[in-house]
Amino acid sequence: MMVQLAHLRDVLHQMEENLGFEGLTRKERDILLAFYANAAVYEEFGYVSSTDRVRAHPTLESVSQPTFHRALRRLLERGLVERPDGLPAGMYAIPSDRSLASVA
């Protein structure tokens, strides 16, 4: 079982490199992926999720609120998530010209 887990981690690491995740911290990666995992499609905004739903994701249980918001700010600065006008507070969109394949 541990050998399979080690191989799975190797595959995941390779996928993260292919997607350009090497420039992101582990927390940034986890938060970005939680946005994708919890996103709903809004016609006007594309993929959208709330910080409440993202913070409730199991991979973020141990992330403190200040750490979450610092990482979110860095994701905003990189353009990996955005706060479009018209969304309620706490709602963020994944830019429509982005896909996981274009995170680099």
Assign residue 49 the CATH number of its domain. 1.10.10.10
In which domain, by residue range, is 71 found? 2-102
Cα 21 to Cα 103: distance, rounded to the nearest angstrom? 7
Report pLDDT digits (tens) over 3-13: 999 999 999 88
Burial class from Cβ neighbours inside 10 Å (0-12, 13-18, 19+) for residue 86 reads exposed
| pLDDT computed for residue 102 by the predictor | 45
Report pLDDT digits (tens) over 28-86: 999 999 999 999 998 888 899 999 999 999 999 999 999 999 999 999 999 999 998 99
Cα 17 to Cα 7: distance, rounded to the nearest angstrom? 15
Residue type at 6?
A: A
What is the pTM assigned to this prediction? 0.81
Helical (H) or strand (E) element with 32: helix 26-38
Q: Which two tokens stand for residue 41?
A: 């499609």
Cα 8 to Cα 5: distance, rounded to the nearest angstrom? 5
Domain count, the chain: 1
Cα 57 to Cα 43: distance, rounded to the nearest angstrom? 24
